[in-house]
Structure 1
Amino acid sequence: MVLLHVKRGDESQFLLQAPGSIELEELTVQVARVYNGRLKVQRLCSEMEELAEHGVFLPPNMQGLTDDQIEELKLKDEWGEKCVPSGGAVFKKDDIGRRNGQAPNEKMKQVLRKTIEEAKAIISKKQVEAGVCVTMEMVKDALDQLRGAVMIVYPMGLPPYDPIRMEFENKEDLSGTQAGLNVIKESEAQLWWAAKELRRTKKLSDYVGKNEKTKIIAKIQQRLEENDDDACLNSPWADNTALKRHFHGVKDIKWRPR
């Protein structure tokens, strides 16, 4: 099996094994899935830390409002009344105003925190140093553990607009966010090795040879859209000398010996 040390830019991400005979179409999608899956676990861990501290997400029309504003507008957090953590809630105000402040008790908090740490360890970049390859099965295992912890603490489920529930249901909206920019579309993913693009129409062995003990550093990126910069540079308005000739009344004069 060829060992791929996957990076994005110069930043180490994870190790992955694949046979040299694998089609690069399949490998590129596989790498992109693991890469994006790890990002999903990271996003969930981040939101679940907030869930443990401040309870469930407020309805979008109540976020960022003061208690007085909520009262004045007669807004009601109906889902918040249903989504009470197991063992009862402990109030801890969310200063950002995203969550309702009805936090789980200490015991339930620990259920969430312990699971978060375990999930983070599964997809950690430290796995590279330890020589552990990350598979999609491991990513799914981390997601299942996180889902299970949320179900223990909130057996009734979370509000449909809570980003944790949306992530579990693959309905997350990352448009306009930094998190969204980090995601690489599977169809637009590219792998590079030794300054060469590993083209999807070929096999891995076409680039690295038949040695199954090869180790390579493969960089993943999203395919850049073709731009028309070169076409623009060839336009008459981009030609400085053409502009000068225009002002001097000289145009397309060809010099040749008499």
Structure 2
Amino acid sequence: MVRLHVKHGEQSQFLYDTTVQVDVSVLVDELLHLYNGRLKIERICSEMEYLAKHGTLLPYNMQGLTDEQIIELKLKDEWAERCIPSGGATFCKDDIGRRNGQAPSTKMAEVLIKTINEAKANINKKLVDANSVMTKEIIKDTLNELRGAVTIVYPMGLPPHDPIKMEFDGEEDLS
């Protein structure tokens, strides 16, 4: 058994157990899957924090516009009526104009925040110090927990343009 210490520069990322019989190309694929899975979880957690505070993402043609501009251009968020969080919504305006301001209730936001914190703990770089290894199962289970929390709060799903949905569907924009 061999324990690999994966780093990015000088910064520890995670530990991985393997054997000396594993082909290097297979090992690289496994490590890339874990590394990219951790990055995916970080991106989802970041967007879920905004989801908990400000609701779903506005359509691209409405992002960054003032309320007056939206009225003047006669734009409407078609998804706002379809994507109402469980337990109702509370209005919390997004100052940068990316999200619709229909935040989940405090109780539902806590579900999201608790799951985000658990997900971040599952992929924390400090797990290296605790001598805890990263596995595909940890990545898969963490993604499923995040997906489950979003489904609890938004049982009807998120708009197709929301980056969280795109991440879960494997359609994320990485440019």
- SS of residue in 1 equivalent to 2:80: helix
Matched pairs, number: 175
Counterpart in the other structure of 1:49: 49
SS of residue paired to 2:131: coil
* Deviation readout 1:164-216 (Å, 9 max, x if unpaired): 000000000121xxxxxxxxxxxxxxxxxxxxxxxxxxxxxxxxxxxxxxxxx
Q: CA deviation at 1:8?
A: 1.2
**How many angstroms does 1:80 deviate by?**
1.2
- 1:94-113 to 2 correspondences below 5 Å: 94-113=94-113
Amino acid at match of 1:103: A
Which residue of 1 is the match for residue 23 of structure 2? 23
Q: How many angstroms apart in 2 are the aligned matches of 1:33 and 1:12?
A: 17
Query: What is aligned with 1:2?
Result: 2
- Unmatched 5+ residue regions in structure 2? none
Helix, strand or coil: the match of 2:56?
coil
TM-score (norm 2): 0.99
1:4-38: CA deviations, max 9, x gaps?
00001111100000001110010001001100000
Structure 1 position 82 matched with structure 2 position 68 = no
The residue aligned with 1:135 is 135
Matched, 1:159 2:159: yes
What SS does structure 2 have at the residue aligned with 1:79? coil
Aligned to 1:149: 149
Kindly provide the amino acid, as one letter, of the partner of residue 89 in structure 2.
A
Q: What code does the residue aligned with 1:145 have? A: E
CA displacement at 1:116 relative to structure 2: 0.4
Point out 4+ residue stretches in structure 1 off by more than 2 angstroms. none
**Residues 148-187 of structure 1: matches in 2 within 5 Å?**
148-175=148-175
CA shift, 1:78, in A, is: 0.6
SS in 2 for 1:36: helix
Amino acid at match of 2:136: M
1:136: how far off?
A: 1.1
Supply the distance in 1 between the matched residues of 2:80 and 2:132 (Cα, whole angstroms).
41
Tell me which residue corresponds to 1:64.
64
Alpha-carbon deviation of 1:126?
1.1
SS of alignment partner, residue 113 of structure 1: helix
**Unaligned residue ranges in structure 1 (runs of 5+):** 176-258
TM-score by structure 1 length? Answer: 0.67
State how far apart, in whole Å, the 2-side matches of 1:174 and 1:72 are: 33
Question: Between Structure 1 and Structure 2, whose CA radius of gyration is higher?
Answer: 1
